[in-house]
Structure 1
Amino acid sequence: MKKIATLVGATVAIMATAGAHANTLETVKNRGAVQCGVSDGLPGFSATDSSGRWQGIDADVCRAVAAAVFGDAEKVNFVSLTATERFTALQSGEIDILSRNTTWTLTRDTSLGLNFTGVNYYDGQGFLVSKDLGVDTAKELDGASVCIQSGTTTELNLADYFRVNGMSYEPVLYDTSDQTVGGFEAGRCDVLTSDQSQLYALRIQLSDPDSAVVLPEVISKEPLGPVVRQGDDAWFNVVKWSLYAMINAEEMGITTANAEEMKSSNDPGIQRFLGVNGNMGELLGVSNDWAFNITKQVGNYGEVFERTVGTGSPLNISRGLNALWSDGGLQYAPPVR
């Protein structure tokens, strides 16, 4: 009975929190900026550059939301969060959106009072090892010590994988990604495990990136995407469609460079998307040129991917599953109509 009472109490608390923040769009407009929760520093996803400006595919999702709401992609306050801090910060209202390489799972989608708004990066968990370890596959890691970032899905995935394959391991837990890669480089573990995209980002932080290799195995599905609180459909729609706008823009061939010119297109779908005709923005509670502002100021999905994590970036990751559906990938957005 005590356990049931505790669960009921937790559910009520989550519902009360959601209800207290049920007008996020209005709150954001009154504040004049989007409060965006990002990582504590993950190149390609959200990390500061030499001038202190946040860069990355996750940071640009927040800029897209700001462009939709304010017509100004720079109206974002970035809040750096560890994996263990991120959900509490969103639940409490400290941030309006969590855009921090966060995996969409059933547990998170139901028990935390949160809603995932889509997937901006399809990923999977893998292993980074020193070449000196002399292994070619994850099946050779029996008895290895493994560096893991606490508070992430990687802990359970790792335990499941080793149990299924009849192997043992010694976990070495850290709070941040920087600490994790530091432990790996210092030799406190044989292996570093995380999402493969994160492994490539952490690998370039090593003093000698060529000394380590990412093993070929992918042991999980890790759909990463932005998160908002449950109970606020208006804000959920704005964040969701800001991401979809980036994907739709790429599908329609609209870029930062040609967005203004494309307003003259005879294609009714493009005219509707860019706000020349129709009332798509009004339905979301923003201006009708919301998608134009996103594309012009932030870029379409392909442009953002390429400069942050793609072959035009230090991570040099190919599109793979993150290619458009029309190119054999999984990225697919509902139509703006």
Structure 2
Amino acid sequence: MNFRNKYILGVTLALSVFAIFACSTETEVEVIKEVEVIKEVMVDAPSTLATVLERDLLKCGVNDNLTGFGVVNSDGEFAGFDIDFCKAVAAAILGDSSKVEYVPLTASARFEALAAEEIDLLIRNTTWTSSRDRDLGNDFTVTTFYDGQGIMVKASSGYDSVESMTGATVCVLQGTTTELNLDDRFTGAGIPYTPLTFETNDPLQAAYEEGRCDGWTTDKSGLASKRAGFENPDDHVVLAETLSKEPLGPLTRDNDSEFYDVVQWVVFGMMQAEESGISSTNVADMAASPADPGMARLLGVGFDGGEPSDFSFGIPVDFMQKVISQVGNYGEVYDKHLTPLGLTRDGSLNALWTEGGLIYSPPFR
């Protein structure tokens, strides 16, 4: 039972007892004592941060079949943009980016796995929406990648827009916002189509390659990833239209503020490190001689003889040094995994705010 359920159950029981025995002063005293005990249990309930520290291992829900974001490479190791953010959180909390257990999850199983506490954190190309934020008992942290949904077709198909795809069959993952957006776009425009749904990418890709569907829709980053893996990438075209806004980022469970704060500020720290010119190659030098108080606060060191700032995250004050030295700043992670797919940052929302994008960190103060 998670923290939120314990809270609701505890308060409900306490109020029920109070309603039944409110006429008795002696019983009122007992009820007050019960409420105090419930509050004490609530306060003492372990957070995910405490669990990870005690376990000495972070359980991260990921994709294992999306090149660039999350995939098992030829060495049998997980690699990708999302994978590196799992590593960054482990480095911040445990001091070692390798202390991660990666849990591959399908799109339809990911939220249940997080709610059931089978994982500590979900970083699996997941779109932030109002209904997911409200209904699923999860909290989205800062967006790590601003994406948009597209449709890929064979270059020989003759399709050059959504309007030209009348009567087409489109492959799509079930249980995703992608499936909903697809229907919104086609049905809203009165364009007849047939959705062909799959739970995982492998059979979906096979159906597309075999010609069982005329188009494949998912986030444009995912399409770029899959297109790059084809023997002849030029035989496939991603249509120009963007069907939706798809802000992707990590999720934690609701009412788990200690852990949420750590995840959130690790990501912010990687963004700020890039903006400040701090990378995996120079972080040690920057920490030894920070250029300004802001850099000192980010790296958890004193400035001009002062004491290091402690933001009370429950982890060492120099956690960002470990993150940057072991994983890199935001730009390093992006360039390593996404730039090779053709997902360049120039002119995109994923550029730093100083370069016209949306990648921006609040102050470390």
TM-score by length of 1: 0.92
The answer to whether 1:309 aligns with 2:338 is yes
CA distance in 2, matches of 1:31, 1:240: 21
Q: Read off the aligned partner of 2:344 and give its amino acid letter.
A: S
SS at match of 2:196: strand
Correspondence list, 1:17-96, <5 A = 23-96=47-120
CA distance in 2, matches of 1:280, 1:126: 44
CA distance in 2, matches of 1:13, 1:151: 29
Q: Read off the aligned partner of 2:334 and give its amino acid letter.
A: F
Correspondence list, 1:140-179, <5 A = 140-179=164-203
User: Displacement, 1:70?
Assistant: 1.2
CA distances 1:170-210 after superposition (whole Å, capped 9, x unpaired): 01111112221111111110000000000011112323222
Structure 2 contact 142–267 (Cα < 8 Å) conserved: yes
Of the three residues 241, 250, 267, the one matched with 1:226 is 250
CA distance in 2, matches of 1:280, 1:68: 16
CA distance in 2, matches of 1:279, 1:323: 30
CA distance in 2, matches of 1:222, 1:15: 33
CA distance in 1, matches of 2:8, 2:204: 35
User: Displacement, 1:291?
Assistant: 0.8
CA distance in 1, matches of 2:111, 2:7: 12
CA distances 1:277-329 after superposition (whole Å, capped 9, x unpaired): 2555551110011011111111110110011111xx2x121111100111000
Match of 1:299 in 2: 328
CA distance in 1, matches of 2:255, 2:105: 23
CA distance in 2, matches of 1:196, 1:250: 25
Q: Read off the aligned partner of 1:322 and give its amino acid letter.
A: N
CA distance in 2, matches of 1:40, 1:175: 14
CA distance in 2, matches of 1:318, 1:269: 29
SS at match of 1:127: strand
Of the three residues 158, 177, 195, the one matched with 1:134 is 158
Larger radius of gyration: 2
Aligned-residue identity in percent: 45
Match of 2:344 in 1: 318
Q: Read off the aligned partner of 1:329 and give its amino acid letter.
A: G
Q: Read off the aligned partner of 1:308 and give its amino acid letter.
A: H
Q: Read off the aligned partner of 2:224 and give its amino acid letter.
A: Y
Give the RMSD, CA atoms, in angstroms: 1.8
Match of 1:334 in 2: 362
Correspondence list, 1:95-114, <5 A = 95-114=119-138
Structure 2 contact 301–318 (Cα < 8 Å) conserved: yes
Greater Cα offset, 143-152 or 281-290? 281-290
Number of residue equivalences: 322
Q: Read off the aligned partner of 2:324 and give its amino acid letter.
A: T
SS at match of 1:178: helix
User: Displacement, 1:163?
Assistant: 1.8
Greater Cα offset, 176-185 or 150-159? 176-185
Structure 1 runs (4+) deviating above 2 angstroms are: 11-16, 19-22, 204-208, 277-282
CA distance in 2, matches of 1:44, 1:117: 21
Structure 2 contact 171–216 (Cα < 8 Å) conserved: yes
User: Displacement, 1:254?
Assistant: 0.3
Q: Read off the aligned partner of 1:160 and give its amino acid letter.
A: D
User: Displacement, 1:231?
Assistant: 1.0
Structure 2 contact 151–216 (Cα < 8 Å) conserved: yes
Structure 1 contact 67–297 (Cα < 8 Å) conserved: yes
CA distance in 1, matches of 2:171, 2:236: 14
CA distance in 2, matches of 1:54, 1:69: 20
User: Displacement, 1:134?
Assistant: 1.1
SS at match of 2:76: coil
SS at match of 2:229: coil
Match of 2:296 in 1: 271
Match of 1:118 in 2: 142
Greater Cα offset, 78-87 or 201-210? 201-210
Against the structure 1 CA distance between its residues 212 and 95, is the aligned structure 2 distance closer, same or farther, given a 3 Å change threshold? same
The answer to whether 1:289 aligns with 2:318 is yes
TM-score by length of 2: 0.85
CA distance in 2, matches of 1:203, 1:65: 30
Correspondence list, 1:210-221, <5 A = 210-221=234-245
Unaligned 5+ segments in structure 2 are 10-41
Q: Indicate the structure whose relative CO is greater, using CA pairs within 8 Å and at least 6 residues apart.
A: 1
Unaligned 5+ segments in structure 1 are 1-10
